[in-house]
Homo-oligomer: A and B are copies of this chain.
Amino acid sequence: MIRAAVMVAPGEPIEVRDLPEPALEPGAVILETILSEVCGTDVHLRHGRLSGVPYPIVPGHVSVGRVVETRGEVTDVENRPIRRGDVVTFLDVHETCHACWYCLVAKQSTRCPKRRVYGITYSADEGPLGGWAERIWLKPGVRIVPLPEGVTPERWMGGGCGLPTALHAIDRAAIRLGERVAVQGSGPVGLSAAILARLSGAGAVIVLGDPPARLEAARAFGADAGIPVAATTAEERIERVREATGGRGADVTIEATGVPGAVREGMRMTRDGGRLVVVGQYTDAGDVTINPHADINRRHLEIRGTWGFDYSHVHRAMEIVARHGEQVRWERSITRAYRLDEMDVALDQVEAGAVVKAVVRP
């Protein structure tokens, strides 16, 4: 049997349950979980804010584990064999079909209607298909990424799902060397976006967030300035971004907050002709009123919505962590590790913003 923390239904306490061992198909792998994560999405799941979730579920979409069993030959994308004992992570998104209009014509597999996601769209009745479990069942075709030398499980999980999400946003931002970047939000996505903007050669990185400890973290990770949100008005924040950018506003703004009003504020702190990447509105937190004349048209603004990530972002994120890990030390993001029987506490603390990155050590 495999012990797992199960989210039974929205609003219910997390239960630790024993799940039966899965029957492995050729190409399947079993991981012994080293670390999984507790992220904002899990808070959304607890409140029932995502549609189509087949509760009960085993949450945990980004995880690191040790291979304890493989059924037949399994390889990574470089065609290297995956072997017992390897420490790996994997892409939580699975079963994109490579056969629908979005996969084949638009080439946006993140919109594939068949895609399923570990920790979100699999029922616990189907097996340990999420990271809040002693062991994780990787079905055939799940894309596995070994942790290269020097990348510890803590270092990778310090980025967690926020890192490939932020990488996707940074790709969409297409920062040119020296451009000034404002990052709205100091949660895991915002912090990783700030780090990646810095690594991309941004001319300035300004993080707007809360609480002060996270702005401190942002500074430690390389941001040039932090602007506290609770202690300022939107006008003050916009003004401070303008002051830091030659009076014009940010060349690029990355919205990573989850707060609808941040989108309007982001439009206003971006310079005429600049770019705003909206990555933080993962669930419906309500509406916002904008002035399309002043906020979009007259400003010649470019706004780019960004949803999720695909394999390429995980692959490249791992290379980035391997290259810059000693300098960035993502593991500093991890505030606390929880046991499987502490997940209600973990969710409370993530929701309260009391931790930067929370991980599960089953």
Contact = CB atoms under 8 A, between A and B. Distances in A.
Interface of A: 75, 77-79, 98-102, 104-108, 110-111, 141, 143, 167, 170-171, 174, 176-178, 196, 199-201, 203, 246, 248, 260, 263, 271-273, 278-294, 296-307, 310-312, 315-316, 319-320, 323
Contacts of A77: 99-101, 104-105
A111 B272 contact: yes
Contacts of A301: 303-305
Contacts of A171: 176-177
Given A290-B290, A302-B305, A305-B302, A263 B296 contact: yes
Contacts of A104: 77, 143, 310-312, 315
A28 to B, nearest CB: 15
A316 B177 contact: yes
Contacts of A303: 296, 301-305
Question: Top 4 A-B pairs ranked by shortest CB distance?
Answer: A281-B297, A296-B305, A303-B303, A281-B293
Contact of A296 (B196, B281, B292, B294): B281
B281 A292 contact: yes
Work out how many copies of this chain go into the complex.
4
A99 B143 contact: yes
B304 A294 contact: no
Contacts of A291: 260, 284, 286-288
B111 A312 contact: no
A298 B281 contact: yes
B311 A300 contact: no
A297 B306 contact: yes
Given A260-B293, A282-B293, 14 more contacts: A77-B99, A104-B143, A108-B272, A111-B273, A170-B177, A176-B316, A178-B319, A178-B323, A263-B290, A281-B296, A281-B297, A287-B290, A297-B305, A298-B307
Contacts of A273: 102, 106, 108, 111
A281 B290 CA distance: 12
B289 A289 contact: yes
Contacts of A98: 98
A312 B105 contact: yes
A75 B301 CA distance: 28
A323 B199 contact: no
12 contacts: A77-B99, A105-B311, A105-B312, A106-B273, A177-B199, A200-B200, A260-B291, A263-B290, A263-B292, A263-B296, A282-B298, A297-B305
A286 B167 CA distance: 35
Contact of A177 (B178, B196, B297): B196
B288 A289 contact: yes
Contact of A292 (B105, B246, B278): B278
